[in-house]
Amino acid sequence: MKILEGINVSTSYGGRIIHDSVSWSVKSGEIYGFLGGSGSGKTTLMKTMMYLKKPDLGEVKFEGKNMWQSPLKTQNEIKLQTGVMFQFGALFSSMSVLDNVGVMLKEYSALSQSQIDEISMFWIQKVGLKKESATLYPAELSGGMKKRAALARALVLSPKVLFLDEPNSGLDPVSSRQMDTLVCELRDTLGLSVVMVTHDADSIFDILDRFLIIENKKIAFEGSMGEIKNLKVNPLQELFDMRKNSGK
């Protein structure tokens, strides 16, 4: 079943076209990648599915509902079913990990502080952080721990879809692989659908079920790694060569 779908979507900033009538679809329960060069429009396209960038033309659908044309009430319901970890997903530096993770609950639920703390603590542990890290402040965390805390914050409303913009950027190779493993575990245990922007070759080969590649305002490819190998001209040839040379 399709959980997200873009149909003939065009976007621009101040008259400069970024996407020219592109279509894609994300199936429920898959890890779907957004690939393309820097500035090709990966973040912008992902934002059309988060109510952060309205398309000039075309439709974006969440479980078949036209996201941008739905009544406000439906739009708010859809928003609450998505979690986001931004590319430069900064935590609030003046708040502890526990409070950072709980912000959405404070904003959108009528739960008491102790209930919020309890739920936040659940997610802190779910993303592999120790209980003791809950009282730490962002400046006291390693890069990998910050990413995990940001992930817990994105998950705290139990979303159906998780958007990740370069979850591995800035992480060392070991932490990157741990992040990949965590994303797969979350998908498997929570039944999440994950849409992620990534440049990371290992993530691309190892955890993406399907992906799209943006090139020159269009989608140059949508499908799986198995399908891309059958193309006459492989748009990921460089990545394949790199991988071969590194002995994988």
Ligand X SMILES: Nc1ncnc2c1ncn2[C@@H]1O[C@H](COP(=O)(O)OP(=O)(O)OP(=O)(O)O)[C@@H](O)[C@H]1O
- Return residues touching ligand X (CB under 6 A): 13, 18, 36, 38-44, 87
40 binds, among ligand X, Mg ion, none (CB under 5 to 8 A by kind): ligand X
- Complex with ligand X: residue 133 or 198, whichever CB lies closer: 198
- Least separation in angstroms between residue 36's CB and Mg ion is 9
The edge-to-edge listing of strands for the beta sheet with 210-215 is: 82-85, 161-165, 193-197, 31-36, 210-215, 218-223
- Least separation in angstroms between residue 18's CB and ligand X is 5
Q: Note the residue count of the chain.
A: 248
Listed in sequence order, the residues at least 6 apart from 87 whose beta carbon sits closer than 8 Å to its beta carbon are 43, 165, 166, 169, 197
Listed in sequence order, the residues at least 6 apart from 200 whose beta carbon sits closer than 8 Å to its beta carbon are 168, 176
Angle at 73 between CA 88 and CA 57, to 5 degrees: 65
- Least separation in angstroms between residue 13's CB and ligand X is 3
- How many angstroms separate the CA atoms of 163 and 84, rounded? 5
- How many angstroms separate the CA atoms of 99 and 148, rounded? 14
- Least separation in angstroms between residue 149's CB and ligand X is 22
- Complex with ligand X: residue 38 or 114, whichever CB lies closer: 38
Dihedral angle sign, alpha carbons of residues 45, 241, 169, 16: negative
- How many angstroms separate the CA atoms of 107 and 104, rounded? 5
Amino acid identity at 11: T
- Complex with ligand X: residue 33 or 36, whichever CB lies closer: 36
CA distances from 123 to 4, 19, 147, 169, 214 (A): 25, 36, 13, 22, 33
- Least separation in angstroms between residue 19's CB and ligand X is 9
- Least separation in angstroms between residue 166's CB and Mg ion is 7
Rounded (10°) angle between helices 143-155 and 173-190: 20
- Least separation in angstroms between residue 56's CB and ligand X is 13
Q: Does 43 bind Mg ion (CB under 5 A)?
A: yes
- Complex with ligand X: residue 145 or 214, whichever CB lies closer: 214
- Complex with ligand X: residue 36 or 102, whichever CB lies closer: 36
44 binds, among Mg ion, ligand X, none (CB under 5 to 8 A by kind): ligand X
- Complex with ligand X: residue 41 or 102, whichever CB lies closer: 41
- Complex with ligand X: residue 39 or 191, whichever CB lies closer: 39
The residue ranges that bind Mg ion (CB under 5 A) are 43
